[in-house]
Chains A and B, each alone.
Chain A
Amino acid sequence: MSIFEYNGCALVAMVGKNCFAIASDRRLGVQLQTIATDFQKIYKIHEKLFIGLSGLATDAQTLYQRLVFRHKLYELREERDMKPETFASLVSALLYEKRFGPYFCQPVIAGLGDEDKPFICTMDSIGAKELAKDFVVAGTASESLYGACESMFKPDMEPEELFETISQALLSSVDRDCLSGWGGHVYVVTPTEVTERILKGRMD
């Protein structure tokens, strides 16, 4: 059993027209036992920047705490929010610092950059960035998510349609993964507002 499959997670982020959506499942497990059904995996860094962390839950929480610390320091010094591209490089650097004893996490970063242009990226557990124009996935359900997103995605979707698409992709993928599920948590972010919704799915 891989360490990445200890807790279980499904993460996906998609780009729309001047907006993005990031979604996760809600399960926290210890191998086959479910411990929590409302576990948060997506964190807000600032109004236009979100990060989801999949993999080992303890490493995800520690990494999040370190990132919040670094971002708060950055805000104090620079008197502005961090751009998503910069934040991605920060995450990558933090992960590579632990190259020979890594955090067992795979992050998914989504934000609105300069001129509110949507930005998404993912990386492996030692910080290799993968920038994508359409969608990125992570977690134990990643293969299912790749298939579902590849078939359902189309470019330049409006926020409502993007929400529907990402929700359908997430729910169908976690239904085929034992380690993720118990509903979904979806954030849809536009330049003017952030909408957070809970999805009801199969509770198994």
Chain B
Amino acid sequence: MTKQQANWSPYDNNGGTCVAIAGADYCVIAADTRMSSGYNILTRDYSKIIQLADKSVMASSGFQADVRALQKVLASRHLLYQHQHNKQMSCPAMAQLLSNTLYYKRFFPYYAFNVLGGLDNEGKGCVFTYDAVGSYERVGYSSQGSGSTLITPFLDNQLKSPSPLLLPAKDAVTPLSEAEAIDLVKTCFASATERDIYTGDKLEIIVLNASGIRQEYMELRKD
């Protein structure tokens, strides 16, 4: 008599890829806009990126229903913080909040693979990368989602900044300029789109720097 297995899963994977790169005084956060389920495309125009605070932007791939629920929880907690402290949450503070929020559901996790990007208290770019239950680390760059295995080795090679693979762990920002970093992100997604079926349609790029926040789009292959 074998143990009965569930024939229904509460989770689904909507695919997609997210990337973030931290610069000396900027941060680039990007994600594709395709939402899939199995071999079907649900929509070509779904944003995986949300601005949580003045200087914090989160991109999440995985199960978008859980991602949306997570975004709502974080937005509401940020509002409370603003009422209590009369200021915006800093990016490192938001990073910790996200970690705690994810671990809170350790035994029924948010199926969300997150990358948090922004500017720290000194105005330097920062990127935090997470697993589904809240383990996180500040890094110079990161990629999550279905195309991450294709993109990460290329970023390791191109960013000329200490990679997360080096010991001792170095807090890193890339010496690349903002324009070069954006170009690199576009190249990454063009390549990932070729080889990953869940990545494509359109690329949404958010750039955070001292002057504020900017949004850019690039068309990707739709097949």
Q: How far is the CB of B151 from chain A (nearest CB, A)?
A: 6
Q: Are B149 and A176 in contact (CB under 8 A)?
A: yes
Please give, as numbers and ranges, the residues of chain A lying within 8 Å of B188 by CB-CB distance: 151
A146–B151 alpha-carbon span in the complex (Å)? 9
Band of interface residues on B: 10 to 19
Among A144, A152, A202, the residue within 8 A (CB) of B152 is A144
Q: Tell me the interface secondary structure of chain A in the complex.
A: helix
Q: Are B195 and A173 in contact (CB under 8 A)?
A: no
- A94 interface contact, C-beta 8 A: no
Q: Are A147 and B147 in contact (CB under 8 A)?
A: yes
- A116 interface contact, C-beta 8 A: no
- A172 interface contact, C-beta 8 A: yes
Please give, as numbers and ranges, the residues of chain A lying within 8 Å of B163 by CB-CB distance: 175
- Known contacts A151-B187, A151-B191, A175-B165; A143 and B149 CB within 8 A of each other: yes
Q: Are A147 and B151 in contact (CB under 8 A)?
A: yes
Q: Tell me the interface secondary structure of chain B in the complex.
A: helix
Please give, as numbers and ranges, the residues of chain B lying within 8 Å of A146 by CB-CB distance: 150, 195
A150–B194 alpha-carbon span in the complex (Å)? 8
Mark contacts of B161-172 with chain A using CB atoms, 8 A cut-off: 1 yes-contact digit, 0 otherwise: 001010000000
Closest 4 CB pairs of A and B: A147-B150, A150-B191, A172-B157, A143-B149
Please give, as numbers and ranges, the residues of chain B lying within 8 Å of A89 by CB-CB distance: none
Q: Are B150 and A168 in contact (CB under 8 A)?
A: no
A147-B149, A148-B150, A172-B154 given; 17 more Cβ-contact pairs under 8 Å: A144-B150, A147-B151, A147-B154, A147-B191, A147-B192, A147-B195, A150-B191, A150-B195, A151-B154, A151-B187, A151-B188, A151-B191, A173-B153, A175-B153, A175-B156, A176-B149, A202-B165
Q: How far is the CB of B78 from chain A (nearest CB, A)?
A: 34
B143 closest partner in A (C-beta): A147
Within 8 A of A (CB), among B109-163: 147, 149-154, 156-157, 163
Band of interface residues on A: 10 to 19
Which A residues contact B (CB, under 8 angstroms)? 143-148, 150-152, 168, 171-173, 175-176, 202
Can you pick out 12 interface pairs between chain A and chain B where the beta carbons lie within 8 Å of each other?
A143-B149, A145-B153, A147-B152, A147-B154, A147-B191, A148-B153, A151-B190, A152-B157, A172-B156, A176-B152, A176-B156, A176-B165
A202 closest partner in B (C-beta): B165
A31–B153 alpha-carbon span in the complex (Å)? 22
Q: Are B149 and A148 in contact (CB under 8 A)?
A: no
Please give, as numbers and ranges, the residues of chain A lying within 8 Å of B147 by CB-CB distance: 147
Q: Are B149 and A152 in contact (CB under 8 A)?
A: no
B165 closest partner in A (C-beta): A175
B189 closest partner in A (C-beta): A151
Please give, as numbers and ranges, the residues of chain A lying within 8 Å of B191 by CB-CB distance: 147, 150-151
Q: Are A176 and B194 in contact (CB under 8 A)?
A: no
Q: How far is the CB of B80 from chain A (nearest CB, A)?
A: 39
